[in-house]
Amino acid sequence: MKSEKQKLGIVLLVLLLAAIGPNLFPIAQAGIANLSKMAVDYLIPSVVLILVLILVTHLLKFSLLKRQIITGIIAGIIATIGLEIFRITGFRIGWMPGDLPKLMGVLLLDQFALGPDSTSNIAGWAYHFWNGAAFGIIYSLLVGRGKPWMGLLYGFLIGIGFMLSPVVRSLGVGSFGLQFKDGYQLFVVVSLAHIAFGVVLGWLVYKMNSGVPGIVTRVKKSYIKETPEEFKNKLLSLQSDLNQLPSTTL
């Protein structure tokens, strides 16, 4: 029970840390804080702490939990490539109002007035892929193995959240991009891109997380004692074992 509570504690802490990165860009675009400063204060420490917690799971021999976190990172990065196929295509045909990784790069390095360069582009793309990894970690820890369709739904919901976020509104196209061109282009590209992200993520996690519990199962193992049905089954099993013992006569 104690080790299960330790695992759950690590899961909750990693979930909290993974949620930091994807939320910083919307916060910056809402005008609440500077992305460059938040990257130093929150983004970099959150990434480092997640890596430290992976090491902790290794030292504590929580092998399934370690695999669960690493699977989320790998699957999230690969799924981001799937997302980019649609996003880049949409941007090149004029169905997206801006190149967000480049925008994130100049904001990260606080050089919006100077515009993008190779260094800011690298920073922006690194942040973009880390966000994909972070969403992958969150998905992997929440569902465990899950089903591929769960990934599709997860990706679509992320896309909806993005289109309602300050990021899209800051581009001057309104929520869902309804004020951009004919009103449907951004919605189509963002939806397809995030569905692709979710499909790839869901499939990879399903393949890589065999036997890995989701957060609901971890909570049950940590705090919920065995049910009456489980206790009854144990008694029946014990009775069966006793019946199989050789009888002795006095």
Look up residue 246 and give its two tokens: 């050789």
Query: What Cα–Cα distance (Å) separates residue 3 from each residue in 60, 138, 221?
Result: 9, 21, 10
pTM of the model as a whole: 0.88
Residue 38 in tokens:
């938040």
Looking at residues 36-56, what average pLDDT do you find? 98
3-state secondary structure of 17: helix
At residue 167 the predicted structure's pLDDT band, cuts being 50, 70 and 90, is very high
Count the Cβ atoms, other than its own, within 10 Å of residue 183: 13
The stretch 211-228 carries a mean pLDDT of 83
The overall average pLDDT reported for the chain is: 92
Residues 6+ apart with CB under 8 A from 183: 177
Give the model's pLDDT for residue 108. 96
All structural domains of the chain with their residue ranges: 2-230
Specify the pLDDT at position 250: 37
**pLDDT (tens digit per residue) in 74-124:** 999 999 999 999 999 999 999 999 899 999 999 999 998 889 999 999 999
Mean pLDDT of all residues in 218-241: 69
Helix (H, G, I), strand (E, B) or coil at 133: helix
For residue 23, what are its two tokens? 């939320």
**pLDDT for res 249:** 43
